[in-house]
Amino acid sequence: MSATGETRPGPSALPELPPEAGEDVGVPPQGREAGTDQDLVRLADIRRAEASLPPSIARHLVTEWRPGVWLKLESLQPSGSFKIRGATWKLMTAADSARSRGVVAYSSGNHGRALALAARSMGARATIVVPGNAPKSKLGGIAGDGVTLVRCQPGSELRRQLAEDLARSSGAVLVPPYGDLDVIAGQGTVGLELAEQIDGLDAVVVPVGGGGLASGVGAAVKAIRPAIKVIGVEPSLAADAAQSLREGHIAVWPVERVGRTIADGVRTQSLSALTFRHMMRYVDDMVAVGEAEILAAMGLLLNSCHLVVEPAGALPMAALLAGSLPDSARVALVVSGGNTSAGTLQRALGSGHAPRPARTGAEPR
């Protein structure tokens, strides 16, 4: 049960897993983890981030795609994703002395890209640990002046350990991609803006990888308007968060399995302890979508909205197209990122996007 009395994720919305898919393994703390529910990110933290983030981070990129459905266009942020919010806020909260020794991150792409940009804008050197199989389009976006790329075998745990070692030995600031209070507060500004900018919102729909975005958005939205549902979306091939929330402990999925989804932004194997606690408290429901649905959503966004959206960023639209969102709700879909390759866009265009689903009772109030 969440703090606001909403139900936990309903079994009907959750994917069935083969018995070997999840392991009952805890995940060690990352970043500035907290120990109790009282230490979850608060609305005041998120408001502080909102008031302090630089104007280069766009706050009003919201469009009403059709009556009752809004798109929050994080794909148009300077680094091409919402990740610039958490990365920038984390660096802004770090001590000058630590930042001058550099910043370190581990990332499958967008977090690294955002951190590289944020570090450059503050004159800090960045070291980014990337998986050896990251798409070239994403690595190209990270590389640049003042940035050192360190390649590592695929797997979030390996990357995390290497980045932690590098930060410890150099005294640099470690910026985790999701398991960190400041990063979550930064991502939470997405939810704060939605709750304040759209009247009468019924639900906010967010993609879920490590859960930083869902945690921050949930913390903001539930504090401002507890009635707004927070719905997380994952690919069926990487639905560890849904399993975790359903079973009440952190499930870790094999890297070979999550690596098969086209949505490279959410190929995380597990939530962190901190994001798990936030999501248990603030997320009402989880939805899983198939690979064809993700491509169809990308194709539709490209064709009908002229928006370049990466697979992870299209997850909420895929859930809408699949009819998995509450009918007749006024919903905001977080289009979380746009960093993708021409090849993936070709696949999306070739997928023959689905027609817009019929929605009734979703007229603007």
Ligand X SMILES: Cc1ncc(COP(=O)(O)O)c(C=O)c1O
Catalytically annotated residues: 83, 336
Q: How far apart are CA 69 and CA 65, in angstroms?
A: 6
135 binds ligand X (CB under 6 A): no
Rounded to the nearest whole angstrom, what is the least distance from the CB of residue 156 to ligand X in the complex? Answer: 10
Q: Does 70 bind ligand X (CB under 6 A)?
A: no
Q: Where are the beta strands (DSSP E) in the chain?
A: 23-24, 62-66, 69-73, 103-106, 126-131, 147-152, 173-174, 203-207, 229-235, 251-252, 285-289, 331-335
Binder to ligand X among 141, 209, 299, 316 (CB under 6 A)? 209
Selected range binding ligand X among 128-136, 191-199, 207-215, 296-304, rule: CB under 6 A = 207-215
Q: Which part of the chain contacts ligand X (CB under 6 A), choosing from 23-31, 149-157, 262-270, 286-294?
A: 262-270
Using the rule CB under 6 A, is 6 a contact of ligand X? no
Interface with ligand X in residues 177-196 (CB under 6 A): 177-178
Asked if residue 234 lies in contact with residue 286, where contact means CB atoms within 8 angstroms, the answer is: yes
In this structure, how many other beta carbons lie within 10 angstroms of the beta carbon of residue 44?
10
Count residues near ligand X (CB under 6 A). Answer: 21
Question: Does residue 212 bind ligand X (CB under 6 A)?
Answer: yes
Binding residues for ligand X restricted to 96-125, rule: CB under 6 A: 110-111
Residue in the structure block whose two tokens are 């909205």 = 305
User: Should residue 313 be labelled a site residue for ligand X when binding is judged by CB under 6 A?
Assistant: yes
H/E run at residue 156 = helix 156-170
Residue from 181, 262, 266, 348 touching ligand X (CB under 6 A): that is: 266
Distance, in Å, from the CA atom of 17 to the CA atom of 234, rounded to the nearest integer, reads 14
Q: How many whole angstroms separate alpha carbon 186 and alpha carbon 53?
A: 8
Residue 356 sits at φ, ψ, to 5 deg, of -60, 135
Q: Given the rule CB under 6 A, which of 97-105, 208-216, 222-230, 251-259 is the region that contacts ligand X?
A: 208-216
- Using CB under 6 A, pick the residue from 30, 81, 261, 324 that binds ligand X: 81
| Three-state secondary structure call for residue 228 | coil
Cα Rg, the chain, nearest whole Å: 19
Looking at 291, 310, 318, 322, which residue binds ligand X (CB under 6 A)? 310
Name which position in 103, 117, 173, 312 contacts ligand X (CB under 6 A).
Answer: 312
Q: Which of residues 159-178 bind ligand X (CB under 6 A)?
A: 177-178
Minimum separation from the CB atom of position 109 to ligand X (A): 6
Task: Single out the segment in contact with ligand X by CB under 6 A; choices: 93-101, 299-307, 308-316, 357-365.
Answer: 308-316
In this structure, what token pair is assigned to residue 363? 């007229």
Adjacent-strand bridge partners of 151: 130
Minimum CB–partner distance for residue 103 and ligand X (Å): 17
Report the relative pairing of strands 251-252 and 23-24 from DSSP bridges: antiparallel
Cα-Cα-Cα-Cα dihedral sign, residues 319, 323, 325, 331: positive
* Both structure tokens of 279: 């999501």
What is the three-class DSSP state of 307?
coil
Q: Which stretch binds ligand X (CB under 6 A): 250-258, 264-272, 281-289, 322-330?
A: 264-272
Q: CB of residue 86 vs ligand X: minimum separation in angstroms?
A: 8
- Nearest-approach distance from CB 100 to ligand X, in angstroms: 27
Q: Which of 68, 141, 265, 316 lies at the binding interface for ligand X (CB under 6 A)? A: 265
Q: How far apart are CA 81 and CA 69, in angstroms?
A: 20
Site residues, ligand X (CB under 6 A): 81, 110-111, 177-178, 207-214, 265-266, 268, 310, 312-313, 336-337
